[in-house]
Structure 1
Amino acid sequence: MLKKERHQFIMDKFKDADKVNTIDLALELEISEDTIRRDFNELHNKGLIEKVYGGAFLVKDKSRNVFDISIFNEDKKIIVGQKALSFLSEGQVIIMTGGTTNLSFCKLIPIDFAATIYTYSLPIAMQLSQHPNIELIFIGGKLQKNAMVTVGIDVVQVLSKIKADVCFIGVSSLDVNQGLTEMGYEVSIVKKEMINASDKVIVLATSDKINRKMPHKVCGLDKIDAIVTELSPGSPRIKNFADAGARLF
Protein backbone atom coordinates (compact mmCIF):
# COMPACT_ATOMS: atom_id res chain seq x y z
CA MET A 1 0.00 0.00 0.00
CA LEU A 2 1.37 3.40 -0.99
CA LYS A 3 1.82 6.12 1.63
CA LYS A 4 -1.02 8.19 0.20
CA GLU A 5 -3.32 5.18 0.36
CA ARG A 6 -2.25 4.47 3.96
CA HIS A 7 -3.02 8.05 4.97
CA GLN A 8 -6.51 7.77 3.49
CA PHE A 9 -6.97 4.39 5.18
CA ILE A 10 -6.02 5.94 8.53
CA MET A 11 -8.42 8.85 8.11
CA ASP A 12 -11.19 6.43 7.12
CA LYS A 13 -10.64 4.55 10.40
CA PHE A 14 -11.88 7.61 12.31
CA LYS A 15 -15.32 7.10 10.77
CA ASP A 16 -15.81 4.06 13.00
CA ALA A 17 -13.58 4.79 16.02
CA ASP A 18 -12.77 7.71 18.30
CA LYS A 19 -9.14 6.63 18.49
CA VAL A 20 -6.83 4.84 16.08
CA ASN A 21 -4.40 2.61 17.98
CA THR A 22 -0.80 2.41 16.73
CA ILE A 23 -0.30 -1.30 17.46
CA ASP A 24 -3.67 -2.41 16.08
CA LEU A 25 -3.16 -0.43 12.88
CA ALA A 26 0.34 -1.83 12.38
CA LEU A 27 -0.99 -5.37 12.76
CA GLU A 28 -3.93 -4.72 10.45
CA LEU A 29 -1.71 -3.32 7.69
CA GLU A 30 1.13 -5.77 8.41
CA ILE A 31 3.70 -2.98 8.67
CA SER A 32 5.91 -1.68 11.47
CA GLU A 33 4.79 0.62 14.26
CA ASP A 34 7.52 3.04 13.18
CA THR A 35 5.87 3.38 9.76
CA ILE A 36 2.52 4.10 11.40
CA ARG A 37 4.15 6.70 13.65
CA ARG A 38 5.69 8.43 10.65
CA ASP A 39 2.26 8.50 9.02
CA PHE A 40 0.78 9.92 12.22
CA ASN A 41 3.52 12.57 12.29
CA GLU A 42 2.72 13.69 8.76
CA LEU A 43 -1.03 13.78 9.37
CA HIS A 44 -0.42 15.61 12.65
CA ASN A 45 1.74 18.22 10.90
CA LYS A 46 -1.07 18.74 8.40
CA GLY A 47 -3.42 19.46 11.29
CA LEU A 48 -5.64 16.47 10.55
CA ILE A 49 -5.01 14.39 13.68
CA GLU A 50 -3.68 14.78 17.20
CA LYS A 51 -1.14 12.23 18.37
CA VAL A 52 -1.64 10.83 21.87
CA TYR A 53 -0.20 8.00 23.94
CA GLY A 54 -0.49 4.83 21.84
CA GLY A 55 -2.37 6.28 18.88
CA ALA A 56 -4.17 9.30 17.53
CA PHE A 57 -7.45 11.23 17.66
CA LEU A 58 -9.00 13.66 15.24
CA VAL A 59 -8.02 17.27 15.92
CA LYS A 60 -11.35 17.98 17.61
CA ASP A 61 -10.15 15.76 20.50
CA LYS A 62 -6.89 17.69 20.94
CA SER A 63 -5.34 17.42 24.40
CA ARG A 64 -4.52 20.56 26.36
CA ASN A 65 -0.91 19.60 27.07
CA VAL A 66 1.55 16.72 26.87
CA PHE A 67 0.52 15.28 30.27
CA ASP A 68 -3.22 15.62 29.63
CA ILE A 69 -3.40 12.11 28.15
CA SER A 70 -6.59 10.92 26.51
CA ILE A 71 -7.42 7.43 27.76
CA PHE A 72 -9.29 5.10 25.41
CA ASN A 73 -11.88 2.84 27.11
CA GLU A 74 -11.28 4.71 30.36
CA ASP A 75 -14.44 3.32 31.96
CA LYS A 76 -13.12 -0.24 31.60
CA LYS A 77 -9.66 0.76 32.84
CA ILE A 78 -11.17 2.36 35.94
CA ILE A 79 -12.88 -0.95 36.76
CA VAL A 80 -9.53 -2.73 36.37
CA GLY A 81 -7.87 -0.14 38.59
CA GLN A 82 -10.50 -0.44 41.30
CA LYS A 83 -9.95 -4.20 41.45
CA ALA A 84 -6.17 -3.78 41.49
CA LEU A 85 -6.33 -1.61 44.62
CA SER A 86 -6.83 -4.79 46.66
CA PHE A 87 -3.23 -5.79 45.89
CA LEU A 88 -1.79 -2.65 47.52
CA SER A 89 -0.35 -2.68 51.04
CA GLU A 90 1.32 0.09 53.02
CA GLY A 91 5.08 0.08 52.80
CA GLN A 92 5.38 -2.08 49.70
CA VAL A 93 8.17 -1.77 47.17
CA ILE A 94 6.35 -1.61 43.84
CA ILE A 95 7.37 -1.64 40.19
CA MET A 96 4.89 0.07 37.88
CA THR A 97 5.03 -0.32 34.10
CA GLY A 98 3.59 2.15 31.63
CA GLY A 99 0.31 2.16 29.76
CA THR A 100 -3.02 3.89 30.18
CA THR A 101 -4.53 1.04 32.23
CA ASN A 102 -1.81 1.49 34.83
CA LEU A 103 -2.23 5.26 34.56
CA SER A 104 -5.95 4.89 35.34
CA PHE A 105 -5.00 2.66 38.29
CA CYS A 106 -2.54 5.24 39.63
CA LYS A 107 -5.25 7.91 39.59
CA LEU A 108 -7.25 5.75 42.01
CA ILE A 109 -4.47 5.19 44.57
CA PRO A 110 -5.39 6.96 47.87
CA ILE A 111 -3.53 10.22 48.27
CA ASP A 112 -2.11 9.21 51.67
CA PHE A 113 -0.86 5.79 50.51
CA ALA A 114 2.74 5.15 51.55
CA ALA A 115 5.06 2.99 49.44
CA THR A 116 8.21 3.00 47.34
CA ILE A 117 7.39 2.92 43.64
CA TYR A 118 9.79 2.45 40.73
CA THR A 119 8.59 3.31 37.23
CA TYR A 120 10.05 3.89 33.78
CA SER A 121 6.89 5.68 32.61
CA LEU A 122 6.99 9.47 32.52
CA PRO A 123 3.18 9.94 32.67
CA ILE A 124 2.89 7.59 35.64
CA ALA A 125 5.77 9.30 37.41
CA MET A 126 4.01 12.65 36.94
CA GLN A 127 0.77 11.21 38.30
CA LEU A 128 2.42 9.61 41.35
CA SER A 129 4.42 12.76 42.10
CA GLN A 130 1.20 14.16 43.59
CA HIS A 131 1.33 11.60 46.44
CA PRO A 132 3.31 13.01 49.39
CA ASN A 133 3.92 9.62 51.06
CA ILE A 134 5.15 7.75 47.99
CA GLU A 135 8.90 7.54 47.56
CA LEU A 136 9.03 7.76 43.78
CA ILE A 137 12.02 6.55 41.78
CA PHE A 138 11.93 7.31 38.07
CA ILE A 139 14.23 4.96 36.17
CA GLY A 140 16.17 7.00 33.65
CA GLY A 141 17.36 5.82 30.26
CA LYS A 142 16.72 6.31 26.58
CA LEU A 143 13.24 7.81 26.18
CA GLN A 144 10.92 5.98 23.80
CA LYS A 145 9.00 9.09 22.82
CA ASN A 146 5.84 7.49 21.47
CA ALA A 147 5.15 5.59 24.69
CA MET A 148 6.95 8.03 27.03
CA VAL A 149 8.87 5.22 28.74
CA THR A 150 12.60 4.70 29.16
CA VAL A 151 14.37 1.67 27.70
CA GLY A 152 17.90 0.39 27.26
CA ILE A 153 20.74 -1.04 29.31
CA ASP A 154 20.57 1.72 31.96
CA VAL A 155 16.99 0.72 32.81
CA VAL A 156 17.84 -2.99 32.88
CA GLN A 157 20.81 -2.40 35.18
CA VAL A 158 18.71 -0.48 37.71
CA LEU A 159 16.00 -3.14 37.68
CA SER A 160 18.55 -5.93 38.20
CA LYS A 161 19.39 -4.42 41.60
CA ILE A 162 15.79 -4.02 42.83
CA LYS A 163 13.88 -6.46 45.02
CA ALA A 164 10.21 -5.50 44.74
CA ASP A 165 7.16 -6.92 46.50
CA VAL A 166 4.91 -6.56 43.50
CA CYS A 167 4.95 -5.49 39.85
CA PHE A 168 1.81 -4.04 38.31
CA ILE A 169 2.33 -4.73 34.65
CA GLY A 170 0.32 -3.31 31.79
CA VAL A 171 0.23 -5.42 28.64
CA SER A 172 -0.14 -5.07 24.89
CA SER A 173 -1.36 -8.64 24.52
CA LEU A 174 -2.02 -11.75 26.59
CA ASP A 175 -2.55 -15.25 25.26
CA VAL A 176 -3.06 -18.57 27.04
CA ASN A 177 -0.32 -20.35 25.11
CA GLN A 178 2.14 -17.50 24.46
CA GLY A 179 1.57 -15.60 27.70
CA LEU A 180 2.50 -11.94 27.81
CA THR A 181 3.93 -10.59 24.54
CA GLU A 182 4.97 -7.15 23.27
CA MET A 183 5.35 -5.48 19.88
CA GLY A 184 8.64 -3.78 20.79
CA TYR A 185 11.79 -5.78 21.61
CA GLU A 186 13.28 -3.18 23.98
CA VAL A 187 10.10 -2.92 26.04
CA SER A 188 9.87 -6.71 26.22
CA ILE A 189 13.40 -6.89 27.67
CA VAL A 190 12.61 -4.25 30.30
CA LYS A 191 9.39 -6.00 31.32
CA LYS A 192 11.23 -9.31 31.68
CA GLU A 193 13.62 -7.66 34.10
CA MET A 194 10.73 -6.10 36.03
CA ILE A 195 9.17 -9.53 36.45
CA ASN A 196 12.47 -11.05 37.57
CA ALA A 197 12.82 -8.29 40.19
CA SER A 198 9.37 -8.85 41.74
CA ASP A 199 7.99 -11.39 44.22
CA LYS A 200 4.51 -11.05 42.75
CA VAL A 201 3.33 -10.07 39.23
CA ILE A 202 -0.14 -8.59 38.71
CA VAL A 203 -1.26 -8.12 35.11
CA LEU A 204 -3.69 -5.28 34.46
CA ALA A 205 -5.46 -5.76 31.14
CA THR A 206 -8.71 -4.70 29.55
CA SER A 207 -10.46 -7.41 27.55
CA ASP A 208 -9.33 -6.00 24.17
CA LYS A 209 -5.78 -7.11 25.07
CA ILE A 210 -6.87 -10.69 25.80
CA ASN A 211 -6.31 -13.57 23.37
CA ARG A 212 -3.84 -11.58 21.29
CA LYS A 213 -0.19 -12.20 20.40
CA MET A 214 2.75 -9.91 19.60
CA PRO A 215 6.20 -10.81 18.20
CA HIS A 216 8.29 -10.60 21.39
CA LYS A 217 7.56 -12.88 24.35
CA VAL A 218 7.89 -11.48 27.87
CA CYS A 219 6.76 -14.41 30.02
CA GLY A 220 4.39 -17.34 30.25
CA LEU A 221 1.31 -17.55 32.43
CA ASP A 222 3.37 -19.42 35.04
CA LYS A 223 5.15 -16.16 35.92
CA ILE A 224 1.88 -14.26 36.50
CA ASP A 225 0.24 -14.34 39.93
CA ALA A 226 -3.02 -12.63 38.96
CA ILE A 227 -4.79 -11.25 35.91
CA VAL A 228 -7.10 -8.29 36.54
CA THR A 229 -9.65 -7.35 33.86
CA GLU A 230 -12.92 -5.44 33.77
CA LEU A 231 -14.72 -8.72 33.16
CA SER A 232 -16.20 -11.05 35.75
CA PRO A 233 -13.77 -13.90 36.53
CA GLY A 234 -16.46 -16.27 35.27
CA SER A 235 -16.84 -14.57 31.90
CA PRO A 236 -16.77 -16.96 28.91
CA ARG A 237 -14.33 -14.56 27.20
CA ILE A 238 -11.58 -15.50 29.67
CA LYS A 239 -12.65 -19.06 30.47
CA ASN A 240 -9.59 -20.43 28.67
CA PHE A 241 -7.36 -18.60 31.16
CA ALA A 242 -9.28 -20.04 34.10
CA ASP A 243 -8.99 -23.52 32.55
CA ALA A 244 -5.22 -22.96 32.30
CA GLY A 245 -5.05 -22.26 36.03
CA ALA A 246 -4.71 -18.48 35.96
CA ARG A 247 -6.04 -16.47 38.91
CA LEU A 248 -8.60 -14.04 37.55
CA PHE A 249 -10.00 -10.94 39.25
Structure 2
Amino acid sequence: MLKAERHQFIITKLADEQRVSTITLAQDLSVSEDSIRRDLNKLHEKGLLEKVYGGAIPLSEKHKSVFDIEISNEERKKVIGNKALSLLHDGQVIIMSGGTTNLVFSKLIPPSLTATIYTYSLPIAMQLSRYPNIDLIFIGGKMQKNAMVTIGMDVLQVLAKIKADICFMGVSSIDSKQGLTEMGYEVSIVKKAMIESAEKVITMFTSDKLNTRKPHVVCDLTRLDTIITDLSPDDASLEEYRKSGIIIL
Protein backbone atom coordinates (compact mmCIF):
# COMPACT_ATOMS: atom_id res chain seq x y z
CA MET A 1 0.00 0.00 0.00
CA LEU A 2 1.32 3.45 -0.90
CA LYS A 3 2.00 6.03 1.79
CA ALA A 4 -0.86 8.25 0.60
CA GLU A 5 -3.23 5.29 0.80
CA ARG A 6 -2.09 4.51 4.34
CA HIS A 7 -2.69 8.11 5.33
CA GLN A 8 -6.20 8.06 3.91
CA PHE A 9 -6.93 4.77 5.70
CA ILE A 10 -5.76 6.27 9.01
CA ILE A 11 -7.87 9.44 8.58
CA THR A 12 -10.96 7.39 7.67
CA LYS A 13 -10.50 4.98 10.59
CA LEU A 14 -9.95 7.86 12.98
CA ALA A 15 -13.16 9.53 11.83
CA ASP A 16 -15.08 6.29 12.42
CA GLU A 17 -13.56 5.27 15.76
CA GLN A 18 -12.38 8.61 17.25
CA ARG A 19 -9.11 7.00 18.31
CA VAL A 20 -6.52 4.81 16.60
CA SER A 21 -3.65 2.84 18.09
CA THR A 22 -0.22 2.35 16.56
CA ILE A 23 -0.32 -1.41 17.14
CA THR A 24 -3.74 -1.92 15.54
CA LEU A 25 -2.88 0.23 12.54
CA ALA A 26 0.33 -1.70 11.98
CA GLN A 27 -1.66 -4.96 11.99
CA ASP A 28 -4.39 -3.59 9.71
CA LEU A 29 -1.92 -2.23 7.18
CA SER A 30 0.70 -5.00 7.48
CA VAL A 31 3.54 -2.57 8.15
CA SER A 32 5.87 -1.96 11.08
CA GLU A 33 4.89 0.14 14.07
CA ASP A 34 7.76 2.49 13.19
CA SER A 35 6.16 3.12 9.80
CA ILE A 36 2.85 3.94 11.49
CA ARG A 37 4.57 6.31 13.91
CA ARG A 38 6.13 8.14 10.97
CA ASP A 39 2.71 8.31 9.29
CA LEU A 40 1.12 9.71 12.43
CA ASN A 41 3.91 12.26 12.82
CA LYS A 42 3.41 13.44 9.26
CA LEU A 43 -0.36 13.71 9.66
CA HIS A 44 0.14 15.55 12.93
CA GLU A 45 2.47 18.05 11.21
CA LYS A 46 -0.18 18.63 8.55
CA GLY A 47 -2.76 19.38 11.23
CA LEU A 48 -4.94 16.40 10.33
CA LEU A 49 -4.87 14.68 13.73
CA GLU A 50 -3.39 14.95 17.22
CA LYS A 51 -0.66 12.41 17.94
CA VAL A 52 -0.81 11.02 21.46
CA TYR A 53 0.99 8.26 23.31
CA GLY A 54 0.26 4.97 21.57
CA GLY A 55 -1.74 6.40 18.68
CA ALA A 56 -3.79 9.43 17.67
CA ILE A 57 -7.06 11.27 18.33
CA PRO A 58 -9.03 13.84 16.27
CA LEU A 59 -7.99 17.44 16.68
CA SER A 60 -11.40 18.25 18.13
CA GLU A 61 -10.55 16.13 21.17
CA LYS A 62 -7.48 18.11 22.06
CA HIS A 63 -8.76 20.20 24.94
CA LYS A 64 -5.98 22.73 25.33
CA SER A 65 -6.81 25.59 27.66
CA VAL A 66 -6.34 29.12 26.37
CA PHE A 67 -4.26 29.62 29.51
CA ASP A 68 -1.72 26.93 28.50
CA ILE A 69 0.58 29.68 27.30
CA GLU A 70 3.86 28.85 25.61
CA ILE A 71 6.61 30.46 27.67
CA SER A 72 9.97 31.18 26.09
CA ASN A 73 13.10 31.07 28.27
CA GLU A 74 11.04 29.56 31.08
CA GLU A 75 14.03 28.36 33.11
CA ARG A 76 15.56 31.84 33.05
CA LYS A 77 12.23 33.28 34.15
CA LYS A 78 12.11 30.83 37.05
CA VAL A 79 15.50 32.16 38.18
CA ILE A 80 14.01 35.66 38.15
CA GLY A 81 10.84 34.54 39.93
CA ASN A 82 12.74 32.80 42.70
CA LYS A 83 14.76 35.96 43.32
CA ALA A 84 11.55 37.99 43.50
CA LEU A 85 10.10 35.72 46.19
CA SER A 86 12.46 37.33 48.71
CA LEU A 87 10.46 40.58 48.37
CA LEU A 88 7.12 39.04 49.35
CA HIS A 89 5.68 39.01 52.85
CA ASP A 90 2.28 38.60 54.43
CA GLY A 91 -0.08 41.56 54.44
CA GLN A 92 1.23 43.30 51.33
CA VAL A 93 -0.91 45.04 48.75
CA ILE A 94 0.60 44.11 45.40
CA ILE A 95 0.09 45.12 41.78
CA MET A 96 1.22 42.71 39.07
CA SER A 97 1.48 43.58 35.40
CA GLY A 98 1.07 41.04 32.61
CA GLY A 99 3.77 39.14 30.76
CA THR A 100 5.16 35.63 30.95
CA THR A 101 7.88 36.52 33.48
CA ASN A 102 5.21 37.59 35.95
CA LEU A 103 3.15 34.53 35.02
CA VAL A 104 6.06 32.25 35.90
CA PHE A 105 6.57 34.24 39.11
CA SER A 106 2.91 33.85 40.07
CA LYS A 107 3.27 30.07 39.82
CA LEU A 108 6.15 30.17 42.32
CA ILE A 109 4.31 32.15 45.01
CA PRO A 110 3.94 30.08 48.20
CA PRO A 111 0.33 28.94 48.75
CA SER A 112 0.53 30.17 52.34
CA LEU A 113 1.11 33.81 51.36
CA THR A 114 -1.54 36.19 52.70
CA ALA A 115 -1.77 39.27 50.49
CA THR A 116 -4.01 41.42 48.32
CA ILE A 117 -3.03 41.29 44.65
CA TYR A 118 -4.36 43.47 41.84
CA THR A 119 -3.73 42.45 38.24
CA TYR A 120 -5.13 43.25 34.81
CA SER A 121 -3.62 40.07 33.33
CA LEU A 122 -6.22 37.34 32.81
CA PRO A 123 -3.74 34.41 32.83
CA ILE A 124 -2.13 35.68 36.04
CA ALA A 125 -5.54 36.20 37.64
CA MET A 126 -6.50 32.62 36.75
CA GLN A 127 -3.26 31.35 38.28
CA LEU A 128 -3.65 33.38 41.49
CA SER A 129 -7.29 32.33 41.87
CA ARG A 130 -5.97 28.96 43.10
CA TYR A 131 -4.39 30.54 46.19
CA PRO A 132 -6.77 30.43 49.20
CA ASN A 133 -5.09 33.20 51.22
CA ILE A 134 -4.77 35.78 48.44
CA ASP A 135 -7.45 38.43 48.03
CA LEU A 136 -7.42 38.71 44.24
CA ILE A 137 -8.79 41.74 42.43
CA PHE A 138 -8.93 41.45 38.65
CA ILE A 139 -9.00 44.88 37.04
CA GLY A 140 -11.57 44.76 34.26
CA GLY A 141 -11.58 46.78 31.07
CA LYS A 142 -11.10 46.48 27.34
CA MET A 143 -9.31 43.20 26.62
CA GLN A 144 -6.15 43.31 24.53
CA LYS A 145 -6.57 39.82 23.12
CA ASN A 146 -3.03 39.04 22.02
CA ALA A 147 -1.60 39.67 25.50
CA MET A 148 -4.79 38.83 27.46
CA VAL A 149 -4.53 42.01 29.54
CA THR A 150 -7.08 44.75 30.07
CA ILE A 151 -6.44 48.35 29.03
CA GLY A 152 -8.33 51.63 28.84
CA MET A 153 -9.94 54.14 31.20
CA ASP A 154 -11.59 51.50 33.40
CA VAL A 155 -8.16 50.12 34.31
CA LEU A 156 -6.68 53.56 34.89
CA GLN A 157 -9.53 54.57 37.18
CA VAL A 158 -9.02 51.51 39.40
CA LEU A 159 -5.26 51.96 39.52
CA ALA A 160 -5.67 55.62 40.54
CA LYS A 161 -7.46 54.48 43.72
CA ILE A 162 -4.90 51.86 44.76
CA LYS A 163 -2.15 52.44 47.31
CA ALA A 164 0.06 49.40 46.83
CA ASP A 165 3.16 48.44 48.77
CA ILE A 166 4.88 46.97 45.76
CA CYS A 167 4.46 46.61 42.01
CA PHE A 168 5.95 43.71 40.06
CA MET A 169 6.27 44.96 36.52
CA GLY A 170 7.12 42.90 33.48
CA VAL A 171 9.33 44.74 31.01
CA SER A 172 9.32 44.75 27.21
CA SER A 173 12.41 46.93 26.84
CA ILE A 174 14.81 48.76 29.14
CA ASP A 175 17.66 51.10 28.32
CA SER A 176 20.01 52.94 30.67
CA LYS A 177 19.22 56.28 28.97
CA GLN A 178 15.65 55.80 27.73
CA GLY A 179 14.35 53.84 30.73
CA LEU A 180 11.34 51.54 30.33
CA THR A 181 9.58 51.53 26.97
CA GLU A 182 6.67 49.63 25.44
CA MET A 183 5.50 48.78 21.94
CA GLY A 184 1.86 49.68 22.63
CA TYR A 185 0.80 53.18 23.68
CA GLU A 186 -2.15 51.99 25.77
CA VAL A 187 -0.03 49.49 27.69
CA SER A 188 2.56 52.19 28.37
CA ILE A 189 -0.17 54.40 29.89
CA VAL A 190 -1.39 51.57 32.14
CA LYS A 191 2.14 50.88 33.35
CA LYS A 192 2.65 54.57 34.15
CA ALA A 193 -0.47 54.40 36.32
CA MET A 194 0.85 51.28 38.06
CA ILE A 195 4.05 53.13 38.97
CA GLU A 196 2.08 56.05 40.43
CA SER A 197 0.04 53.64 42.55
CA ALA A 198 2.92 51.73 44.15
CA GLU A 199 5.41 52.63 46.86
CA LYS A 200 8.08 50.40 45.29
CA VAL A 201 8.48 49.32 41.67
CA ILE A 202 10.19 46.02 40.90
CA THR A 203 11.04 45.40 37.25
CA MET A 204 11.58 41.82 36.16
CA PHE A 205 12.95 40.75 32.77
CA THR A 206 15.29 38.38 31.00
CA SER A 207 18.65 39.80 29.97
CA ASP A 208 17.76 39.91 26.25
CA LYS A 209 15.56 42.94 27.09
CA LEU A 210 18.57 44.94 28.28
CA ASN A 211 19.53 48.00 26.23
CA THR A 212 16.57 47.72 23.86
CA ARG A 213 13.99 50.37 23.05
CA LYS A 214 10.34 50.50 22.01
CA PRO A 215 8.38 53.54 20.76
CA HIS A 216 6.47 54.54 23.91
CA VAL A 217 8.18 55.64 27.11
CA VAL A 218 6.87 54.33 30.44
CA CYS A 219 9.35 55.90 32.85
CA ASP A 220 13.01 56.71 33.37
CA LEU A 221 15.27 54.70 35.64
CA THR A 222 14.80 57.03 38.60
CA ARG A 223 11.28 55.63 39.10
CA LEU A 224 12.56 52.08 39.58
CA ASP A 225 13.56 50.65 42.95
CA THR A 226 14.75 47.18 41.99
CA ILE A 227 15.75 45.30 38.85
CA ILE A 228 15.62 41.50 38.77
CA THR A 229 17.16 39.60 35.86
CA ASP A 230 18.51 36.14 35.15
CA LEU A 231 22.06 37.53 35.37
CA SER A 232 24.32 37.75 38.38
CA PRO A 233 23.78 41.11 40.14
CA ASP A 234 27.42 42.06 39.52
CA ASP A 235 27.31 41.30 35.79
CA ALA A 236 29.11 43.99 33.77
CA SER A 237 26.08 44.60 31.52
CA LEU A 238 24.19 45.95 34.56
CA GLU A 239 26.83 48.51 35.51
CA GLU A 240 24.95 51.57 34.17
CA TYR A 241 21.84 50.51 36.09
CA ARG A 242 23.83 50.10 39.31
CA LYS A 243 25.23 53.62 38.85
CA SER A 244 21.69 54.99 38.74
CA GLY A 245 21.13 53.74 42.29
CA ILE A 246 18.78 50.85 41.47
CA ILE A 247 18.99 47.72 43.60
CA ILE A 248 19.99 44.75 41.42
CA LEU A 249 18.94 41.21 42.35
Report the Cα offset of residue 70 of structure 1.
1.2
Is structure 2 residue 212 aligned with structure 1 residue 212?
yes
**Hey, what does 1:93 align to over in structure 2?**
93
Is structure 2 residue 179 aligned with structure 1 residue 179?
yes
**Hey, what does 2:159 align to over in structure 1?**
159
Report the Cα offset of residue 63 of structure 1.
9.0
1:112-123 paired onto structure 2 within 5 Å: 112-123=112-123
In structure 1, list runs of 5 or more residues that go unmatched.
1-45, 48-61
C-alpha contact 1:125 1:136 (8 A) present in aligned 2: yes
- SS of structure 2 residue aligned to 1:203: strand
- SS of structure 1 residue aligned to 2:247: coil
- SS of structure 1 residue aligned to 2:218: strand
Q: Which amino acid aligns with 2:194?
A: M
Instruction: Name the CA shift for 1:63/1:242 in 2 (closer, same or farther; >3 Å).
Output: farther
**Hey, what does 2:124 align to over in structure 1?**
124
Is structure 2 residue 107 aligned with structure 1 residue 110?
no
RMSD: 1.6
1:36-115 paired onto structure 2 within 5 Å: 64-115=64-115
Q: Which amino acid aligns with 1:210?
A: L
Alpha-carbon distance in structure 1 between the residues aligned to 2:80 and 2:63: 24
Q: How many residues align?
A: 191
Deviations 1:173-226 (A, max 9, x none): 011001110000000000000000000000011101111110000011100000
Is structure 2 residue 241 aligned with structure 1 residue 237?
no
Instruction: Name the CA shift for 1:63/1:202 in 2 (closer, same or farther; >3 Å).
Output: farther
Q: Name the stretch that deviates more: 230-239 or 187-196.
A: 230-239
Q: Which amino acid aligns with 2:72?
A: F
**Hey, what does 2:36 align to over in structure 1?**
none
C-alpha contact 1:98 1:120 (8 A) present in aligned 2: yes
Q: Which amino acid aligns with 1:83?
A: K
TM-score w.r.t. structure 1 length? 0.74
Report the Cα offset of residue 243 of structure 1.
2.7
Report the Cα offset of residue 237 of structure 1.
2.0
Query: Which runs of structure 1 show a deviation greater than 3 angstroms over 4 or more consecutive aligned residues?
Result: none
TM-score w.r.t. structure 2 length? 0.74
Alpha-carbon distance in structure 1 between the residues aligned to 2:115 and 2:78: 21
In structure 2, list runs of 5 or more residues that go unmatched.
1-45, 48-61
Identity %: 64
**Hey, what does 1:141 align to over in structure 2?**
141
